[in-house]
Each structure stands twice: as structure tokens, then as C-alpha cells.
A and B are shown apart, each in its own frame.
Chain A
Amino acid sequence: MDFFVQELVNGVTTGALYALVALGFSMVYGVLKLLNFAHGDLYMIGAFTGYFVIQWFGGPSALTIPVPLLLVIMLVLAAGLAGGLGVAIERFAYRPLRNAPRIAPLITAIGISFFLENSALLLFGGQTRVYNTPDFISLSSGLSIGPVTISTVQIMVLVLGAALMISLQLLVNRTRLGRRMRAVAADREAAEMLGINVNMTIAVTFFLGSALAGVAGVMAGLMFNQVTNLIGFIVGLKAFTAAVVGGIGSIPGAMLGGLLIGMAESFITGYVSSTYTNLIVFGILIAVMLLRPSGLLGRAQLQKV
């Protein structure tokens, strides 16, 4: 039972990360109907940003600034960089293809993902970079409820993840910007005719979604400690799965999907074997797609004739 609860906690934390990446992915899909394969690589960029911020301020064991300040700088920089990069990608690679055949932006997205991965390899090298989180955030300072421990980093991830998701949900449902985003997602041309600046709205959506991926990258770096140029690919896949399982285009769906995938992974690793984790997650995806193609919280779309 304790083991179960511990795995549950780990699963929820990982799930929160996946949910953050899936959120951005789902938002972008919502406004552009584009699977942004490069989304996972923005997560990778975020993770690298966090790593270099730590190095900049003296390295993990000899920090020159207080830890909370360091965290804020990491998160803000990662969000800004990933967000900016996301906007740039949209502006220069996707916008010209908005009226192209469906397959063109998808292939472009694959190209961008490949480009980013290998540019990172060129710039940062192929070796694994390590955050060394325990050097500046003590492992023992977390919560202990009986035999179950929740580390400080996990608490941070959960709190920050929940806060971001709630604020995003509020942003989309309660603000003018959110209304514009929903309008563009529903019908781009109609939105344009109603005077909505569609390009601007799409750019903002890309910024928000990519920034979330960047933040998730930093948190993953803190939690898993390892950063390479390839971490984006597999997380990207998991985020696709989360978004699709939850219902692509739906924000609560992405959260639910992320949590489900995180927990499934955690339990499979804990109870079965880590060898089969990805294969089983893949199986879940296939099952959901075949049984409920619109996802758990998505709505089936009417075919227009």
C-alpha cells in the first residue's frame, strides 16, 4: 500500500510535467490544427536554459544567489526563450503554410524538430548535462507522511503545475484574449472577419504553449537531473499521447491525459518492468484512439459536407 501511494505521488508529479507539455501542444493544435512535432524540443531548450543558468551563477554547489531567486530566473528565462523560439517558429515556418495541404506543415514540423535537436547537439554537445539538484535543494526537506515521502522538488512541481494549469484555464475561459483564442480555434476565417487579429492571437498562443514547455523543461531538469539534446523527442511523444487521450484541443483533457499517462507509467515501472513502459503507454494510446477517437474529454466533430 505504501509502495502504491509512493508510486501514485511519483506518477502524479511526472503526470503534471506531461500535462504542462501536453497543454501547450493542445493549445497550438486548437488554434492551428497542427501537430507541432517541435513542441517537445522546446521543452529540451527550456531544460538546457535552466542548466546554463545554474552554471552561470556559480554551479550547483557554489551558488552565488539565493535558491528561490535562482529558480525564478531559471523559470522566467526558460519560459521566455522557449516562448520566443515558439513564436519565431510559427512566424517563419508555419505561417507561410497556413493554407498549404495538410501534410506540408506536419513535415515542416518534423524538419524543425530535427533541426532543433541537432542544433542543440552542435551547440551543447552530446554529453548528458546534470543539474545536481540535491546540492542546492535538500532531498530530505520534503514532506514525509508515514513511509511516503514527497520531495521539495516534487512539491514545487505539483504546486507550480497546478497554478499554471488553473491560471491557463482562467485565461482561456475568462479573459478577452482567451475568448479570441477560442474564436480562432473554432473558425479562423470567421474570427478574422469579426475583426480579431488572428496572427497575433496565434502568436500569443504559441508563446504561451511554448513557454509552458520551457517551464516543464526546467522542472524536469530539477526532478530528473539529466538533460540531453534528445529528451524532447520522447517527452513530446508522451505529451501527444496525453493530449490525444484527454481529447486534443481540450485544456482539461490535456491535464487529465497528462496525469493518466504519468500515473500509468509510474505504476507500470513500479509493478511490471520499466522495459515495457513505453510499449504499454503506446498500447493505451492505440486503445483510446480506436475506442474513443475524440479522447476522454473531447467532443466528436461533425463531418462537414
Chain B
Amino acid sequence: MSIDQPPASPPPAGPPGGPQVGADEWVARQSHRQEQLPAWLRPAQQLAGRVGWWPRLAIAALVAAALPALGLGGFQLQVGINALLLAMLALGLNVTVGWAGLLDLGYVAFFGFGAYGFALLSSGQLGSAGIHLPAYLSLPVVMVGAAILGLLVGLPSRRLIGDYLAIVTLFFGEAFLEFTTNVAPGTLGGANGIVGIDPIQAFGFQLTSNTGYFYLLLILLVATMAALRLLDSSRTGRAWRAVREDPLAAASMTIPVSRVKLMAFAFGAVIAALAGTVFAAQQISVFPPDFNTAYLILIYAGLILGGAGSITGAVLGGLVVVITLDGFLRSPTEAGYIFYGLIVVALLVKLRPWRKLGGVVAATVALGFAAHAITGAISASAVAGGPQSSGWIASAVRDWVIVPASPKAAGNIGFVVLVCLLIALVQARGWWRTALLPPAIYLAACVWEARLVAEPSITRQILIGVVLIVMMNSRPQGLLGSRRVEVIT
């Protein structure tokens, strides 16, 4: 060892990447973490720390309750309802996946079960006159049914660990789709689904407006959050997390592992089914594809984005995913805000120092105009396409991005190249990464304007997939969760 060697750098202060053997260092790190916050935020944080969880929840609920009064349009209200639904579903999934650590890939079927159950009990589908139960009867029936179904589906978890359970539940979800599509079309409606479902009604009162459903969902969501918060700090919540951490140790500490797992399954199922009943009543119709794998993955994206294991995380993740994808990705102009906004935010957050950030931005802008000018000089048709989006962003980037006359083919090629480039970007280190950044951003913008903006529904799905991959690789604890430590045995 040479004497000139610089002193070893202190270990990084970030969250631990593995089990740490040594001093009790958490206390030190915790105070350090608080110091990292900007000074003006610290009093706010101290205040938030003093306020209990339920005043915070109440304030959030009041803010949300004020939204429809601000004059949300019909579309915004529908997005709000969808967002609350997904938040509710992510919350239920959090019990099974986040707390009990069981990978339930048939979760969406419980949502479907709730919806179909409510539909059958509140429409002309069963019997000659149909059944039209009031909500105070149909909801409990559906929820009890969902709990039983959850127990049945969870039964294999008694014998099967992790991976196998994922397969069984995935199949269960598929089987639910097959069942509703193919079996008993007279009753379940087959691919045509069930239409003409009653609204939620009780004591002669009917819930028909979307505003009403917004408030109903909000109330249910807040109540569920509070219930889960209380459950989390009870013996049941501790047992769930203990089973997630180490099933064998949990069993040796008097926890009946199978029963606790089944309870987690049933709880998730009940919450999903509750969301399903409201969904069916609000939509007035249910169809098998409402409960397909794509929707399951959307729920997962919400949970993972917010942070599995955290109530607030699950809810915020669900809200953010729907508001982003449903609310903004519909119209090309607003989609553009999200797309370019995300790039700018990512650069602002990740790129330091400022000099480097400025250099990358300048290089990207210059690269674009240069590429556009050169390509245009060689072949006019290569830039003839123009942005597929509209609005001021489109006119701003018109002379910057290259969109050929046939944007589809070029966009496809660009997409493949972009994926390769992004992979290279992830792998590259140091100077290379900085150098690759401008072309990657520029190409992303070109592909966006040429192809992705024109296919919002596909783009949305691709983004969901990307969210899962990126979150799991870079921040598995989600935006709000705290990093977990795991010993691999």
C-alpha cells in the first residue's frame, strides 16, 4: 500500500443498501437527514411531525372535498373518480403486497368480483324480475363474498411460497376473465357484459351524479386509510409485516403464518371488491375487459410508484398515475407538458453542477437546430412531417425536431434506436453519460413528436411498463417509502 494514498472516503450517508453490521448508526443518520432539508422547510417539517396522522388525513380529505366545488368539469370529475378508484385499489393491494409480501397477480379479479357481484344484485340480470337490493344489503354481501373468495384463492399460499403464488394468482385473474366472458352468458352477459346497473341506493335515496360518486369514493378512501392505519399498528399489522420479513421466525414467535397470510389476502380482496361495487354503480355497466391484466398492471404501477408498504404512498401513487395518464395523456398538448416537463424536472433534479446542466441543455438545443437544418438541406421530405402534437409546444419545436413526411416508419425506427440509446445511457459512466445525454433527449423528443403523441393509448401502456422497470431498478421503495433492508438467504 502506498503512503500517498488518499484517506478512504467515508461510507456514503445514503440509505443502507444491505444489512449493516456495526455501530447503531440510525440515530446519527436520522438527524443528518433533517439537516439536508432546506432551512425554510424545517419548521414545517417539525410542525408536521407534531401533528398526528389523523389531523393530516383530515386536512388532505378536506382539500380533496373542496375540489368539485371549484368547478371541475365533467371530464375532470371522471378523472378524479378514476383516480380515487385506483388509489383505493392500490391501498388494498398494499395490504397483500406491501405488508404481507405476497405477490398477488390476480388482484384485479377481486375488483371484478365486486363489480360483477354488485351488478348481479342490482340489475335485471338474475331471475325474471331481477334483483334490486339496496346498498346496505348488497355491499356487505359482496364484501363477504370477496372475503371468502380471497380466502379460497389464498389457500395455495399455505403450501406455496412467493413465486408459485404469483403464478396461481395470475391464473386466477385470467380464469376470472375467461369465466365472465364465456360461462353462463345469459347471466353474466358474456363479452357484452352487464348493462343497466342500478345506482347505489339506500333508504329511498339514489346516488346518480358523478359528484356524488366522487364524494362517496372520497369518504370510502379516507375511511379505509384510517382503518388501515389503525390496523397497521395493531397485532394484525405487526404479524403481516413479520411474515413478510421472515416467515420462519414469525412462526417461531407464535404467529400462525398461514392464517395471517390468508387474512391479508382477504383484506385486500374486500377493499378491491368495495372499489368494484362503486365502479359498477358509477359506470352503470361492467364488461370483462374492465378487469384485464392491463388494469392490474396499472394498479401495480400506482402502488410501486408511491411506495409499497406505505399507506400514503399507495394512495398518492394511485392518484398520480391516473391523473397523469388519464388526465393529461389524452390531449397531445397537455401530454406535451407532461413529457417535456418530466425531462426538465429530471434534468434539474439529477444534473449537477449548474454548469453541466446548462451545457447539456445548450447542447441539446443546438444539436436539434443543427440536425434539423442539415437534414432539411439534404432532403426536404425528411423534415416535412412536422410535430404531430399541437399547441405552442408544437410550434416551438417545429424547426427543432426532425419529423419526416412518413412519421410512422421513421418514428418506429427512432423508437427502437431510442430504447437502445437509453440502455446505453444507463450503462455509461461519467463523461460518456453526459455526452450521450443530449442526443438521447433530442431523439426522445423526435420520437415523441413523430410517433408517441399520435398513439396516446399505446404510449400510456409503454409508460406504465417503464415506470415499473425504472422504479424497481432505481427506487424500489417508491417515491415515498423508506428503503428496506433484506438479508438474502
Q: Is the CB of B103 within 8 A of A106?
A: yes
Given contacts A114-B297, A123-B416, contact A106 B163 (CB under 8 A): yes
Residue A174 at the B interface, CB < 8 A? no
Q: Is the CB of B163 within 8 A of A112?
A: no
- In the complex, per-residue mask of B414-439: 1 if CB is within 8 Å of any chain A CB, else 0: 01100100010011000000000000
Using a CB-CB cutoff of 8 Å, which residues 98-125 of chain A contact chain B?
Answer: 99-108, 110-119, 121-123
The docked-state distance in angstroms from the alpha carbon of A105 to that of B419 is 20
For chain B, give the interface size range: 35 or more
Q: Is the CB of B412 within 8 A of A35?
A: no
Which of A133-141, A251-259, A286-294 touches B?
Answer: A286-294
- Shortest beta-carbon distance from A275 to chain B in Å: 4
> In this complex, what residue of B is CB-closest to A113?
B465
Q: Is the CB of B162 within 8 A of A105?
A: no
Majority-rule SS of A interface residues = helix
- In the complex, per-residue mask of A240-276: 1 if CB is within 8 Å of any chain B CB, else 0: 1100100000000000000000000000000000011
Using a CB-CB cutoff of 8 Å, which residues 448-476 of chain B contact chain A?
Answer: 451-452, 455, 458-459, 461-462, 464-469, 472-473, 476
The docked-state distance in angstroms from the alpha carbon of A93 to that of B415 is 18
Q: Is the CB of B473 within 8 A of A233?
A: no
Q: Is the CB of B168 within 8 A of A289?
A: yes
Cβ 8 A contact of B167, one of A33, A35, A108, A305 = A35
Residue B393 at the A interface, CB < 8 A? no
Given contacts A92-B427, A118-B462, A240-B167, contact A275 B472 (CB under 8 A): no
Which residues on B sit within 8 Å (CB–CB) of A93? 469, 473
Q: Is the CB of A107 within 8 A of B472?
A: yes
For chain A, give the interface size range: 35 or more
Which residues on B sit within 8 Å (CB–CB) of A96? 473
Residue B18 at the A interface, CB < 8 A? yes
Using a CB-CB cutoff of 8 Å, which residues 466-489 of chain B contact chain A?
Answer: 466-469, 472-473, 476, 484, 486, 488-489
Q: Is the CB of B174 within 8 A of A278?
A: yes
Residue B67 at the A interface, CB < 8 A? no
Cβ 8 A contact of A108, one of B174, B175, B455, B473 = B473
Q: Which of B170, B451, B455, B489 has the most CB of A within 10 A?
A: B170
Which residues on A sit within 8 Å (CB–CB) of B304? 107
Give residues in A with beta carbon < 8 Å to B: 29, 33, 35, 88, 92-93, 96-97, 99-108, 110-119, 121-123, 233-234, 237, 240-241, 244, 275-276, 278-279, 282, 285-286, 289-290, 293, 303-305
Q: List 19 A-B contacts (CB under 8 A).
A: A35-B167, A92-B423, A92-B427, A101-B476, A104-B472, A105-B472, A107-B300, A107-B304, A110-B468, A114-B461, A115-B462, A122-B415, A122-B455, A122-B459, A123-B415, A282-B174, A286-B171, A289-B168, A293-B160
